[in-house]
Amino acid sequence: MLPDIVRILIPAAATFAAGIACAPVLTHYLYKHRAWKKRPGKQTLGGDVAHEFNRLHTENEVRAPRMGGILVWGSVLLTTFLLALLAALSSSAFLEQLNYLSRNQTWLPLATLLAGALVGLIDDIMVIGPSGEGLRLRYRLIVAIVLSSFIGWWFWAKLAVVAVNIPFAAPITLGWLIIPFFVFVSLCVYASGVIDGIDGLSGGVFASIFASYTVIAAAQSQVDLAAFCAATLGGLLAFLWFNVPPARFYMSDTGTMALTLSLAVVVFMTDSLGGGYGVAVLPLIGALLVITVLSNVLQISWKLIFHTKLFRIAPLHHHFEAIGWSSYKVVMRYWILSLIFSFAGVVIALAAL
């Protein structure tokens, strides 16, 4: 019988190796087909020209291709299905134990990862076209709402999830309201995808978050789910290997949409379903995602009320760039903070078990 730690770490190592091996092929095709924006520059959510962002990043937007997120979810899918296939074709007990594709733990997050990846990929393909415009925000939100509504219903109707656990306190019972609550959490996590704005930033932050939920799922004896999180971590580390400054490619929507939506599923699967506190510790483990979203909300609200900007530019990591921090300084400090917040969240989640 393989130890659980081996069943978790081997998929992580395999996914990392697959990502490293596939990166040159992905790079070749992305550069061959010039998979970057043809017209650099962004607009604010209000429709104005984002002058500060364009000053800082116009050149970078056409320096490297988008769709680097393919490396993350592609390597996860490759490892997952390869291990499942080898287990099915072989009578080896070793391979059977490495197969973490299971209906009760990994089908749902894996399906969400793939659905988010495909929608994000469509958006990216449109962005690199002559018009330079991807799917409108409203359409991406509709997709996120529809998908998360179905998953929220699945948690409630099929998996009997009706409550959210609170560390060192009684659970909060929501009943069918777990459905809109899951939609709300999913949209908040999805909105945090805008953290993909500086070389190496999103990959490092998401890596620490998925590492945290690997530990939490393993502590709950959800070994297959832990292996899925570890495999995602492996894919993120492979991506990060090529995304550190100067980035060979950017994660873009196909990566952030896949990761954020699947993360929401993992968070709920490590809550009452696994006898843990996955939802309650998310704001701490994902504190930098929360800060990223809040900085956007505060910027918009401040402009509406006071007709001026609170930050030089939002999200907050771009504000630090605008006031003179180098991109390296922003990324390194975000990595440090992400590790601190993730460690604190894991400690609370495990102490409350």
**Nearest partner of 317 among 339, 296, 302, judged by Cα:** 296
Distance, CA of 109 to CA of 126 (rounded, Å):
26
Mean pLDDT by 10 residues, the chain (353 residues): 95 98 97 82 57 60 85 98 95 93 96 97 91 86 96 97 96 97 97 91 97 98 98 98 92 96 98 97 98 94 92 92 92 97 98 94
Structure tokens at 228: 């899925």
Q: Is the peptide bond before 315 cis (omega within 30 degrees of 0)?
A: yes
Residue 85's pLDDT is 96
Phi, psi of 163 (to 5 degrees): -140, 160
Distance, CA of 40 to CA of 46 (rounded, Å):
18
Residue 59's pLDDT is 59
* Predicted model pTM: 0.95
**Nearest partner of 337 among 329, 326, 347, 348, judged by Cα:** 329
Distance, CA of 42 to CA of 314 (rounded, Å):
12
Structure tokens at 40: 């650099």
> Token match 């962004």: residue?
42
Q: Spell out the domain ranges in the chain.
A: 4-351
Phi, psi of 248 (to 5 degrees): -80, -30
Q: Using only C-alpha atoms, what is the Rg of the chain? A: 20
**Nearest partner of 266 among 182, 145, 176, 140, judged by Cα:** 182
Distance, CA of 18 to CA of 25 (rounded, Å):
11
Distance, CA of 94 to CA of 260 (rounded, Å):
32
Distance, CA of 336 to CA of 350 (rounded, Å):
21
Contact 199, 246 (CB under 8 A): yes
Contact 73, 114 (CB under 8 A): yes
Distance, CA of 340 to CA of 106 (rounded, Å):
28
Residue 51's pLDDT is 58
DSSP category for residue 35: -
> Token match 């490759």: residue?
78
Residue 43's pLDDT is 57
Residue 233's pLDDT is 98
DSSP category for residue 272: G
Residue 134's pLDDT is 85
Phi, psi of 90 (to 5 degrees): -115, 155
Residue 52's pLDDT is 63
* HSE value, Cβ hemisphere, 13 Å, CA-based, for 143: 18
Residue 37's pLDDT is 78
Distance, CA of 9 to CA of 226 (rounded, Å):
9
Distance, CA of 248 to CA of 245 (rounded, Å):
8
Task: Give the max Cα distance, the chain.
Answer: 68
